[in-house]
Amino acid sequence: MKRILKGVATAGILALALTGITAGSSSAASKKLIVVGFAQTGSESGWRAANTLSMKAAFSKANGFKLIFNAADNKPEAQIAAVHSFINQRVNAIVIAAVVETGWDNVLKEAKAAKIPVFLEDRTISSAPSLYATWLGDNFLKEGTTAGLWAKQMVGTTPTNMVVIEGTTGSAPAIDRATGFNAAIKGSPIVTLDSQTGNFTRAGGKTVMEGFLQKYPKKIQLLFAQNDDMGLGALDAIKAAGLIPGKDIKIVTIDGTHDGLTALSQGEFNYVVECNPLLGAGVASLVKAVLAGKSVPKANTALDGAFDQAQATAALPTRKY
Ligand code: GYE
């Protein structure tokens, strides 16, 4: 992540989204389709479901693509195997939403040797930028910072015990959101009692929160869940313990899915930072540009907002994911 963001101007993803994708539909049938292998993380969350839909819609036949889709059940080995298989199938381009940041060098070198450009979607990796064409995703560090600044401002001078439910260990969003959040709460009276992974899933969030509530009875006042789904899972555990989410335990999450904003609108969450999953059109434009020999920025960042209760209520009727 750091490597990419350093000194890179982020550029017009909206412009990209608007240009590349429109050409096509009627002439596409007569043209050769661009074969793209997409290695998706899995189907861990509502965010992921929206991201998969967005990618499938953008990489459609009407837009000139043949998409080979693989979901790796959040297993790094399975994901690398999928990329190997894309290389063996001689696809025109490979898109990866990397489960974890590390372990990519060898397979990316193979793709490079086979002259197949690789596009990173959503998550960043720690390999040298020369091993891939470009990345398009959200700014996870900033999301963590926004969540942390809200927490700091919310607690004011009141000593507050916090627990954290982390995303997939070793994933860019888990690493960067923690870094941003921790830096933002520095100097505040927030004490981190515990921090454990819930793998970005509802079931994981519920199990981890149950453990926290047993281990620290009546002590927890704030929960930072690194995505909506884990926060939603935690709600069940909090209610089962006879506590009121949003009141007895304040909750801040990241993503801004329909379900997350609904919980916020109902007062069960207290703040939600947005992470836009609708990246398909932007990625498809980048693929077309690179295959056409155009130069593109190495990093392309989506813009994200944040919501309090009133803003969530206002946004829900037109929320697209
Ligand atoms: O926050 C989480 C998903 O990589 C930004 O992955 C994405 C994260 C998202 O499963 O819900």
Residue whose pair of structure tokens reads 């992470």 in the numeric block:
275
- Are 121 and 136 spatial neighbours (Cβ–Cβ below 8 Å)? yes
In this predicted structure, the answer to whether residue 79 has a pLDDT above a threshold of 60 is: yes
What kind and span of H or E run contains 277? none
Q: Please, are residues 194 and 212 in contact by the beta-carbon 8 Å criterion?
A: yes
Rg (CA), the chain: 20
The answer, yes or no, to whether any atom of ligand 1 lies below 6 A from the CB of 152, is no
Q: Is 275 in the pocket of ligand 1 (CB under 6 A)?
A: yes
Asked whether 177 lines ligand 1 (CB < 6 A), one says no
How do residues 197-252 score in pLDDT, each as one tens digit? 999 999 999 999 999 999 999 999 999 999 999 999 999 999 999 999 999 999 99
pTM above 0.95, yes or no: no
Give per-residue pLDDT as tens, 258-275: 999 999 999 999 999 999
Assigned CATH topology for domain 8-138+276-304:
Rossmann fold (3.40.50)
Candidate CATH numbers 3.20.20.60, 3.40.50.2300, 3.40.50.11540, 3.30.565.10; the one for domain 140-275: 3.40.50.2300
Instruction: Please give the distance, rounded to the nearest whole angstrom, from the Cα atom of residue 61 to the centre of ligand 1.
Output: 27
Amino acid at 100: V
Pairing of strands 190-197, 160-166: parallel
Mean pLDDT estimate for the chain: 93
Distance separating alpha carbons of residues 286 and 280, to the nearest angstrom: 10
pLDDT-derived band of residue 31, with 50, 70 and 90 as boundaries? confident
- Report the nearest-CA residue for atom 8 of ligand 1: 173
CA 292 to chain centre: 28
Smallest CA-to-CA distance from 232 within 277, 190, 202, 208 is with: 202
Mutate to test the pocket of ligand 1, among 122, 175, 177, 230 (most ligand atoms within 8 A of CB): 122
Domain with CATH 3.40.50.2300 in the chain: 8-138+276-304, 140-275
